Amino acid sequence: MEEFKQKRFFNSKRVEFENDGISYYSGNFLNAKEIFIPFDEIIPDAITRETKTSRLFLWLTITLGFIFGLALWDIFRIPFGIYMVLVFFAGLFSLFFLILTIFSRKHMLYITTFSGYLIGFYDKNPSEEAIEEFLEILKTKTFAYLKEKYAIIDKDLPVEKQIENLNFLKERNVITEKEYEALIEKLKKNNIDVKGFKY
């Protein structure tokens, strides 16, 4: 998978995988944004799920439902013709906005970055399997890039920087404890002449 796309009504989202990160696009017919997010920034395990409901539609539903209820109880003391029109339209619009409220609910999924930016997606869109496959590919590509960049043991590089890199990989669960220990052993062997070697 080199690209992942989502559509919901007039909204669309797209991710394109690149060598060192992802291009993320989100937009509709009113506005759009496209940003590049490097793999160093992405925390693929930091996932948040949320359900969002339109507050406008919800308040309109409540208000019109309240007016409809008052009209049914004949609180307004108005002529019968106006009363029937008020009951009909208040009930009709209350039902209309109730349906809009239900269908406008969005199930969102957010992936966190180190800078605090949230990459937003529609959860289970186009399907639960598709979103899980995308998340797995994102994690695999992110971890592969980080391993290739930071899990380098080189006697010409400063020891402290290499230890810092390995600790970074371990903290992000990119490498296991066993892999970490093996890389530290390799680093010690490569730098056997370095005095005061610590980790």
- Tens of pLDDT, residue by residue over 87-141, are 889 899 999 999 998 888 889 999 999 998 999 999 989 899 999 999 999 999 9
**What average pLDDT does this structure show over 151-160?**
85
How does pLDDT run across 56-73, given as a tens digit for each residue? 999 999 999 998 888 777
- For residue 152, pLDDT over 90 is answered with no
Which residues make beta-bridge pairs with 107? 51
Q: Please spell the DSSP secondary structure of 77-94, one letter per residue.
A: ---HHHHHHHHHHHHHHH
pLDDT at 75: 66
